[in-house]
A and B are shown apart, each in its own frame.
Chain A
């Protein structure tokens, strides 16, 4: 686009006028395109946000009007009757426990793999990294049976352990790389000062690894918060649904069909907290998530 413009501008205008005009014009053009996509991203989100404050009649009348009376009743209905509140609580419990456990276990394993030479070190490392090659769909049926045999269907611990196990591959890979870049001298100094291996890890190396732990923590938090497939298979009791699953269930089963504003409210409750957290920590989150892609 900008190129064609420049070429034609060049032929018409005298040399002195050329750059300035072109700079202005292509800048505006860029903004034009960028704004269109920004609008395509934000308009649906804003529309979903506002629709929850309307009543059903207003939703049916026109998608474009603002709510006449800003009613928050739909949020109360979604939270209580549609049990979004319960799903929210379930999600928080599962995700907080699973992220903590993932960070602890992957940091421990990664530290040992990065710092200690022992038989089997490479085998373990590649067994974990290789796990990233397999699609989760392949594991679904056996995984369901394993969790069922352990009596952990419809339990928090079932989801927590499965989430953690399936997050280990990438987390171990990422943190092993991270621990390798840290100076060995620090650990050696701590050991010379009489610190045990355990003490060295928890008091010296783990605090030093904070930036890596935060990145991997954010990455896993978002992935687990948004997880849909695993709970769909491992949780059948509606009381134990997580947010993504509960919301989809509301929309799919249409049990809530008669209440459009309630469904919009449920959507907003699932959406807004994540967006707020994102806006607060956006630099960290973007770098954490793109680091995941560049593995």
Chain B
């Protein structure tokens, strides 16, 4: 039985580890080094400059603008998606019944909740470019669905050049990100809510708790783990916003840099201006921010785990 154990292990781990070292570990390690050089892409000179890139970054007003836009996106997207997803998920799980005192059917999901979940999940399986191109059409000032809808209900005055106005462009993109992610979290929350024992709700209702009380005192604490996962995922996603901006915005990043985000700034520095060293420094900054946000989110959202 021992025979061949060693060669078996080696034969199974060599290929995946080699692939992982070449295409994952080595680029990450190189990126950290490159961030400390002044490398300009195809030029042969590559000098070690220490933290100079980071010093420059801290004085780069475009970087700060992009960072601010990312923070707006983080706040807007995370708050809206979590709120909407919790709302819809509780509608599905508990919306089917009101004040049925006692009895088996005190808490019921709405009919057809399966159907809603299937529909809500549609955007989650689409590629971000499909979503971006579709919404570009929707926002089209002349032939788009949104302005067409506003005109159909008589609100022509609210029509906008959504992606062409620097006041609305970033928010228009945030709406698309929200549209694209709510369904996923509805399904996630619905699954966690489904595993909460019904007896808890029946007991709470018998004790005279209102719907809002059962929501805040029972549902939210009991699915807190899922909410935490959702918050961290949404923050990371919003910090990484790239494809939506790159496809939808004018420029991309415009108008007037009103939709400039860090990932796009990194991409342009690397692949338009060949500032490989500087782009890597932006990448390292992104990594540190992602890590910080995750730690902060975990810390501030820590609560006692409720066992049931």
Q: Which residues of A are in contact with B by a Cβ distance under 8 Å? A: 2-3, 6-7, 10, 18-19, 22-23, 25-27, 29-31, 33-34, 37-38, 40-45, 47-48, 51, 59-60, 62-64, 105-106, 108-109, 111-112, 116, 118, 124, 127-128, 131, 133-135, 137-146, 161-162, 164-166, 168-169, 172, 191-192, 196-198, 201, 222, 225-229, 233, 243-245, 247-248, 250-252, 260, 263-264, 267, 270-271, 274-275, 278-279, 282, 285-286, 289-290, 293-294
User: Quick check: which of B161-169, B181-189, B300-308 contacts chain A, the rest being far away?
Assistant: B181-189
Cβ-closest 6 pairs across A and B: A30-B95, A226-B127, A22-B98, A165-B23, A63-B148, A142-B27
B31 touching A112 by the CB < 8 A rule? no
Q: Which residues of B are in contact with A by a Cβ distance under 8 Å? A: 1, 4-5, 8-9, 11-13, 15-17, 19-20, 22-28, 30-31, 34, 84, 87-88, 91-92, 95-101, 110, 112, 116-130, 132-138, 142-145, 148-149, 152, 179, 182-184, 187-188, 191, 210-212, 226, 229-230, 233, 236, 239-240, 242-243, 246-247, 252, 263, 266-267, 270-271, 276, 279-280, 283-284, 286-287, 290-291
Q: How many A-B residue pairs have CB under 8 A?
A: 289
A146 touching B23 by the CB < 8 A rule? yes
| 9 pairs of residues in contact across A and B, judged by CB atoms under 8 Å | A27-B110, A31-B112, A109-B12, A124-B13, A133-B291, A140-B266, A228-B243, A252-B252, A285-B125
CB-CB < 8 A to B212: which residues of A?
Answer: 3
CB-CB < 8 A to A271: which residues of B?
Answer: 126, 130, 134
Q: In the complex, which of the residues A138, A139, A286 has the most CB atoms of chain B within 10 Å of its own CB atom?
A: A138
CB-CB < 8 A to B137: which residues of A?
Answer: 48, 51, 263-264, 267
B211 touching A112 by the CB < 8 A rule? no
A270 touching B130 by the CB < 8 A rule? yes
A278 touching B125 by the CB < 8 A rule? yes
A251 touching B247 by the CB < 8 A rule? yes
Expressed in whole angstroms, the Cα–Cα distance for A111 and B122 within the complex equals 34
Knowing A6-B211, A191-B1 are in contact, say whether A48-B24 is a contact too (CB < 8 A).
no
* A265, chain B: closest CB distance, angstroms: 12
* B103, chain A: closest CB distance, angstroms: 9
Knowing A6-B210, A293-B188 are in contact, say whether A19-B98 is a contact too (CB < 8 A).
yes
Expressed in whole angstroms, the Cα–Cα distance for A133 and B101 within the complex equals 48
A44 touching B135 by the CB < 8 A rule? yes
A166 touching B284 by the CB < 8 A rule? no
Q: In the complex, which of the residues B97, B127, B184, B226 has the most CB atoms of chain A within 10 Å of its own CB atom?
A: B127
B101 touching A143 by the CB < 8 A rule? no
A137 touching B240 by the CB < 8 A rule? yes
Within 8 Å by CB of A60, from B20, B100, B142, B239, lies B142
Q: Please, which residue of chain A has its CB at the minimum distance from the CB of B127?
A: A226
Knowing A108-B16, A222-B125 are in contact, say whether A19-B133 is a contact too (CB < 8 A).
no
| Contacts A112-B8, A161-B19, A248-B133 supplied; 9 other A-B pairs, CB < 8 Å | A3-B211, A22-B98, A23-B99, A25-B98, A27-B110, A44-B138, A138-B28, A267-B130, A274-B127
Knowing A142-B26, A267-B130 are in contact, say whether A34-B16 is a contact too (CB < 8 A).
no
Within 8 Å by CB of A41, from B122, B263, B290, lies B122
* A240, chain B: closest CB distance, angstroms: 16
* B62, chain A: closest CB distance, angstroms: 17
Q: Please, which residue of chain B has its CB at the minimum distance from the CB of A236?
A: B271
Knowing A38-B116, A191-B1 are in contact, say whether A138-B13 is a contact too (CB < 8 A).
no
B110 touching A228 by the CB < 8 A rule? no
Expressed in whole angstroms, the Cα–Cα distance for A274 and B126 within the complex equals 7
B148 touching A64 by the CB < 8 A rule? yes
A197 touching B4 by the CB < 8 A rule? yes
Expressed in whole angstroms, the Cα–Cα distance for A229 and B286 within the complex equals 16
B283 touching A135 by the CB < 8 A rule? yes
Knowing A105-B19, A247-B130 are in contact, say whether A62-B87 is a contact too (CB < 8 A).
no
B276 touching A43 by the CB < 8 A rule? no
A279 touching B211 by the CB < 8 A rule? no
Within 8 Å by CB of B127, from A2, A106, A146, A244, lies A244
A26 touching B98 by the CB < 8 A rule? yes
Expressed in whole angstroms, the Cα–Cα distance for A248 and B127 within the complex equals 11
Expressed in whole angstroms, the Cα–Cα distance for A99 and B127 within the complex equals 17
Knowing A63-B143, A124-B17, A252-B247 are in contact, say whether A196-B4 is a contact too (CB < 8 A).
yes
CB-CB < 8 A to B144: which residues of A?
Answer: 63
Expressed in whole angstroms, the Cα–Cα distance for A112 and B17 within the complex equals 12
Q: In the complex, which of the residues B24, B179, B270, B283 has the most CB atoms of chain A within 10 Å of its own CB atom?
A: B24
Expressed in whole angstroms, the Cα–Cα distance for A144 and B138 within the complex equals 34
Expressed in whole angstroms, the Cα–Cα distance for A115 and B145 within the complex equals 56
Expressed in whole angstroms, the Cα–Cα distance for A62 and B149 within the complex equals 10
CB-CB < 8 A to A289: which residues of B?
Answer: 124, 184
B1 touching A192 by the CB < 8 A rule? yes
Expressed in whole angstroms, the Cα–Cα distance for A187 and B58 within the complex equals 57
